[in-house]
Homo-oligomer: A and B are copies of this chain.
Amino acid sequence: MSFDFSLTPRVVEWRDRIAEFVADVVVPREQEAFTNGVDDALRRDLQQAARAAGLWAPQAPADLGGGGFRFDEAAVLLEEAGTSLLGPLALNCAAPDEGNIHLLNVVATPAQRDRYLVPLVNGDIRSCFAMTEPPPGAGSDPSAVRTLATKVADGWRISGEKHLITGAEGAAFTIVMARDGGSDGATMLLVDTGTPGFTVTEHARTIDSTMVGGHCRVLFEDVFVPDDAVLGEPGRGFQYIQVRLAPARLTHCMRWLGAARRAHEIALGRAVDRELFGQRLTDLGMAQQMIADNEIDLVAARALLWQACWEVAQGGRGTESSSRAKVFISEAVGRIVDRSVQLAGGLGTSEDLVIGRIYADIRAFRIYDGASEAHRMSIAKRAARRAGTAGQGSGVRS
């Protein structure tokens, strides 16, 4: 039997409870977070409440205490959590921990699972993922990585500089992506942040504000780690990064789609109550156009997201479909929130209405996890390759 867009009862039940939890518990803490930033105290408060509510880590394996939902089902739940910028943090399904949980679950040794994965799923610690580097290092192009990991007796020595490392301040450990001094490949290593030579330096002063632990510059100055710090096998970093990248960009899409829906709903709620030029705002054609375009973008983004997630849930790599989904959804989210600002009018850029904060926070989504341009290049190259070999009939088909 083909085509099914229905939700299972368990998904519906979690979705509705998440909606309630966000409204009752998370939203009341937003203004405080916008004023003071998000710290670990606030994180612990919210996470404690989420666990108490039986809403914990929907995407994480059930045997580790998570919800154990299939990846495409998680799309529904992480969207719902994302309706507050703090929601994913509360449910422990926020970046970068959520992506690290996924990667560790696939690649980590039993000992690494015990030491890093278990407390991470529990929310006892935070982590970060150290890949991006200042130009000319790794950015939209991971293969440009310059941080070096060199095999020495009993372990590895890591040297290099990373930047825009989200959550580095306060993280217990990082996964670092490094060029393998002894091969053409890259190696991933687990580094406790207390290790000598590891330093978090400045925070980038970006216009977003709700990521715990900031976007930091991180130095690796001759950091030594033992052999068992290698994640998976040495030299296979470029393969492992694919394990993390496609799902991580899709969970970003899930969460930000929720944020976009929130902005839309706030703006719509205001528009219903507001009069302008003697008409209800929602009866004015240009407002209707923004409202309709938001609804259309929301459903198109969601349908595309579900399809890409379903592919991953079926065991696919999802490389191309997640690229397409990421470009479309990050840009759709941008459009939706921008229209919501406009629809909300004079207070559209205000944090009290939350829309202003969402507007600033989501902008970088079109850049990280591969800028739209990098994804477009790779999508086009694959299409050209298909066309070159198959002649016509090369378009993406059902």
CB distance from A213 to the nearest CB of B (A): 17
With A4-B2, A288-B377, A292-B377: A398-B269 Cβ-Cβ less than 8 Å: no
Q: Is A238 an interface residue (CB 8 A)?
A: no
In the bound complex, CA of A184 to CA of B374 (Å): 38
With A206-B349, A372-B342: A393-B296 Cβ-Cβ less than 8 Å: no
Q: Tell whether, in the assembled complex, residue A377 and residue B277 are in contact, meaning their CB atoms are under 8 Å apart.
A: yes
From A261, A286, A388, residue with most partner B Cβ within 10 Å: A286
In the bound complex, CA of A324 to CA of B298 (Å): 10
**Interface bits A198-210 vs B (CB < 8 Å: 1, else 0):** 0000001111100
Q: Tell whether, in the assembled complex, residue B342 and residue A368 are in contact, meaning their CB atoms are under 8 Å apart.
A: no
Q: Tell whether, in the assembled complex, residue A387 and residue B268 are in contact, meaning their CB atoms are under 8 Å apart.
A: yes
Q: Tell whether, in the assembled complex, residue A296 and residue B324 are in contact, meaning their CB atoms are under 8 Å apart.
A: yes
From A280, A288, A302, A380, residue with most partner B Cβ within 10 Å: A380
CB distance from A76 to the nearest CB of B (A): 5
- 14 of the cross-chain contacts (CB-CB < 8 Å) are A4-B4, A75-B398, A132-B346, A140-B276, A207-B349, A265-B393, A269-B394, A284-B373, A285-B288, A295-B396, A299-B396, A303-B303, A342-B373, A348-B367
Q: Can you add 16 more A-B contacts, CB < 8 Å, to A5-B311, A141-B276, A272-B388? A: A3-B70, A3-B310, A3-B313, A4-B4, A7-B398, A19-B393, A205-B352, A207-B349, A207-B357, A207-B359, A261-B395, A271-B387, A292-B327, A296-B379, A299-B321, A303-B306
Sort A-B residue pairs by CB-CB distance and give the 4 closest, nearest first. A285-B285, A288-B380, A292-B376, A303-B303
Residues of A within 8 A of B (CB): 1-8, 11, 15, 19, 23, 34, 70, 72-73, 75-76, 79, 132, 135-136, 139-141, 144, 163-164, 204-208, 261, 264-266, 268-269, 271-277, 280, 282, 284-289, 291-296, 298-304, 306-307, 309-311, 313, 321, 324, 327-328, 341-342, 345-352, 356-357, 359-360, 363-364, 366-368, 371-377, 379-381, 383-384, 387-388, 391-398
